[in-house]
């Protein structure tokens, strides 16, 4: 067998191997894509529950935003009475 024939056989073998690998990965990708269920967006299921979004706590300072209802925050003896859609920030003291 000459060197040219050997390289031709090697090229054919590499081409077939790469075809199998690419076909396998494309099939797996499509299969995984088809298995995902679409995400449903639903309305708020607990509208009567108070919501407090804590945006950050850094250096002993807490900041956040209140949701739809009036909220009372208590930390130790300090009490904050916050109205809806109000932003807040206070220092956490021990």
Do 4 and 35 sit in the same domain of this protein? yes
Q: What is the pLDDT along the chain (94 residues), one digit of tens a residue?
A: 788 888 999 999 999 999 999 888 888 888 777 777 777 877 767 666 677 777 888 888 888 888 777 777 777 777 777 877 888 787 777 6
As a whole number of angstroms, the distance between CA 11 and CA 25 comes to 21
The count of domains in the chain is 2
Q: Would 65 be classed as within a structural domain?
A: yes
Do 10 and 34 sit in the same domain of this protein? yes
Q: Which residues of 41-65 are buried (b: 16+ CB within 10 A; e: fewer)?
A: eeeeeeeeeeeeeeeeeeeeebebe
Which residue range(s) make up the domain with 58? 52-91
Do 30 and 6 sit in the same domain of this protein? yes
């Amino acid at each position: 067998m000459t060197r040219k024939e050997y390289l031709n056989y090697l090229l054919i073998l590499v081409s077939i191997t790469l075809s199998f690998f690419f076909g396998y990965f494309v099939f797996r990708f499509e299969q995984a894509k088809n298995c995902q269920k679409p995400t449903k967006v639903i309305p708020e299921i607990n509208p009567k529950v108070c919501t407090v979004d804590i945006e950050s706590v850094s250096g002993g300072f807490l900041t956040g935003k209140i949701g739809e209802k009036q909220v009372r925050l208590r930390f130790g003896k300090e009490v904050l009475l916050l109205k809806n859609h109000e932003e807040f920030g206070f220092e956490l003291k021990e």
